[in-house]
Amino acid sequence: MIWLLEHGISNVPSSWKEWVNDGIQYVHLNTPDKAQGLFYFTTPFTVFMRERERMQSFSEMLTGYARAGQKIGGIAHSNGTRVMVNGAAAARWPAMEVMHLMCGACDSDFERLGLNYALKTGSLRQVVVYVAGRDMAMRAENWLGRWQFQLPWGAKPLGLNGPTNVNAKFLGNGRVRVVSMGRWLNFGHSDCWLPANFTQTMREMVGPQTT
């Protein structure tokens, strides 16, 4: 399995403690899988710029691994969920095992996102959505930052609302899961990546440590 990791805004790609760098190391040291991240830098005030370029870059990365016959999983946080979902759609939904969409700054509507289509055709086997109970960033996006993240009129961000307009059979059979209880009730927007929470967060998505 190759895990594709995608971060959000205001991250520092050169920092070793950037969660994507930490996540890649976790996968390589603790699982038989591999991982790669697509890095960029933007701020809340510039996030609407070059988003199409980031989406296209993710699309090309995803397509390359799919053509090589790799099993692919995705982990995305905040604006990274927009990059990942839109990039997969631009790539015409190559096969993926799972998308973990955490505190998503993307639209919550699975029909508009194309996720219902990907699940129906079998291109995507599972989507897991994580909603933090104290996510002030998503509350701010809902009221103040909608234009920055290019949400359709009337839409709510995935990280605030959880998934909407999901084909009911996918909720019923576990192919769409929502994680919002337990420790996630008290999490803020990026608390899942704090040192005290990081290992458990990665274990939830890619499996337990081997040492």
93: left (phi over 0), alpha (psi -120 to 50) or beta: left
What pLDDT, in 10s, does the model give residues 179-207? 999 999 999 999 999 999 999 999 999 97
Q: For residues 150 and 34, what is the distance between their CA atoms, to the nearest angstrom?
A: 32
Q: Which residues of 185-210 are buried (b: 16+ CB within 10 A; e: fewer)?
A: eebebbbbbeeeebeebbebbbeeee
Handedness of CA 61, 94, 104, 52 (dihedral sign): positive
- CA–CA distance from 198 to each of 2, 119, 121 (Å)? 20, 29, 33
Non-local (6+) Cβ contacts of 156 within 8 A are: 108, 142, 164
What pLDDT, in 10s, does the model give residues 54-91? 889 999 999 999 999 999 999 999 999 999 999 999 99
What's the topology of domain 2-206?
Answer: Rossmann fold (3.40.50)
pLDDT: which is higher, 13 or 160: 160
Q: For residues 188 and 177, what is the distance between their CA atoms, to the nearest angstrom?
A: 20
Mean local confidence (pLDDT), 10-32: 85
Q: For residues 35 and 20, what is the distance between their CA atoms, to the nearest angstrom?
A: 9
Mean local confidence (pLDDT), 88-99: 97
The percent of residues in the chain predicted with pLDDT above 70, rounded, is 83
For the chain, the structural domain boundaries read 2-206
- The yes-or-no verdict on residue 210 having pLDDT over 50 is no
